[in-house]
Structure 1
């Protein structure tokens, strides 16, 4: 049985997979970027929890990351549409179906990456903060 943390990350991955871009989880950047763009979900760090004692609960502000990558002549417009679609997917249900208390993305910081012999990439990391509580940090 998956832990609440894994269940939340799986739900976030499912939400991103519904977008037109190709979505991966924890994979390396493939050789080719699809025309609709590419999203790679990185599990990130749960960080140090705040603890309440009665009842015992560990409250996390888990920082996951979404790598957004586009390539091609119209990469600025495709990148803008891709990041906007990620934002819309997250704001549509900020609790991921009640699995977490709140989901909030931070602004991406895009960079252009030259590729020898091909169109350059436009990429950014989109930090996503997942607020949730667990009864035990390991289960």
Structure 2
């Protein structure tokens, strides 16, 4: 910065600083308004909804979670049955949580098992009942 030597240069420097202060003040107000608007509940809900909808694996994750919970539930029902003792119920709960956790971590195992079973079913339908050949 240059050294100010007279009154005119001082007034000019003050005017430039005032203009700069006004510009920075307007920028600060705009930034504050943007931050205020982004913290409104409607804006937060919109951004969360946009993130959820744009997530590519959302449907797959929901489906895998639903399948793992359902499989665990049915495994428990198969082990426990309609009426069982306390040990059988405890064993059913342990197996249910184990199956649910396994399928949640490895959904591809359930998918491959489902494909294998469907291939077995469709291959039996294709066989000729008289010769038992494909």
TM superposition score category, shorter chain reference: under 0.3
Higher strand proportion, which one? 1
TM-score by length of 1: 0.26
Higher helix proportion, which one? 2
TM-score by length of 2: 0.27
